[in-house]
Amino acid sequence: MGYHVPVMVREVIEGLVVDPDGTYMDATAGGGGHSEALLHALGEQGHLIAVDRDWEAVEASQERLSTDARAVVWQGSFAELGGLLAEQGGGALSGVLFDLGVSSHQIDVPGRGFSYREDGPLDMRMDPAAGQSAADLLAVCSEIELAELIKRYGEERQARRIARAICRQRQLEPMRTTQGLRRVVAATQPQMLNKTLARVFQALRIAVNDELGQLQAGLHAAVSMLKPGGRLAVIAYHSLEDRLVKQYFAALERGCICPPRLPICNCGQQPTFKKVVRKPRRAGDEEVRENRRARSAIARIYEKLEVN
């Protein structure tokens, strides 16, 4: 298996590419799967900018896309997208793609610390050279802060019990490995251990990488970088990120923000985006059978409007 298995490639590319000669950005390059598919859909004058926060993903994408002169690969976070494009003198984009969450490679490599199934250092950073690791975060969070983090980002009902157990254990020794954390969570005797572990690890990963804050910044950058008629596609894997995307664009689709009691609009605000498809797209049964990660994937596609 390669670095990462991209999901809903055909559905996303068909919905995203409206100008084969335009410039597109894959903001989550991963192993270059979506990027390669984008290049296949572009014409000779088309260009692709592949970006990823993870240096290992950048290297994998560079190797995969190296033979195509239409593609460039950059390292950077969502919050840096606008600055990266400006530094390179780039113009408006015809499309931007976000494939959120964690890559297959990050999960499969124990040394990255994303998986509760394998033993490894409790790291979880998308960019291992920046920020604090999950182990560092667990060492400094209070019990109240940790419980709130697990409840908010993991949507785990037993967050307080798990946070209390973690804080008791760290008084005995620092928590530095994924299996050390697994043992503490298992000791709380959750009814469905694997689901609880998945929620706790998800919560820590989101917190360590500020994923929701990064997503908000990335959407803002993408909206400003798109030209009228350009499209933005987001593939989300859990309700927190999908809800953020849905609410963010609901405001841009709405237009008028006047109170309902006013008989006429006084604000003059117009919609700046529209849905390309009314309902979000999901992977088909065949793809889900071949790639279980696709089961939870939700793709939303929006188009930027011309505003007078």
For the segment(s) 110-209, the CATH number from 1.10.150.170, 1.10.460.10, 3.40.50.300, 1.10.1060.10 is 1.10.150.170
Beta strands (DSSP E) in 76-225 are 93-99
Closest to 28 (Cα-Cα) out of 18, 19, 38: 38
The amino acid at residue 61 is S
Distances (CA, A) of 144 to 19, 128, 161, 264: 50, 27, 11, 48
Assessment of whether the complete model's pTM goes beyond 0.85: yes
Q: Predicted confidence band at 1 (pLDDT cuts at 50, 70, 90)?
A: very low
The model's pLDDT over 64-85, given as tens digits with 9 standing for 90+, comes to 999 999 999 999 999 999 888 8
Looking at per-residue pLDDT, the higher value among 73 and 261 belongs to 73
Q: Predicted confidence band at 129 (pLDDT cuts at 50, 70, 90)?
A: confident
Task: Decide: 277 and 15 in contact? Cβ < 8 Å.
Answer: yes
Mean per-residue pLDDT, 214-236: 95
CATH of domain 9-105+211-304: 3.40.50.150
Task: Give residue 2's pLDDT.
Answer: 57
Domain boundaries, the chain: 9-105+211-304, 110-209
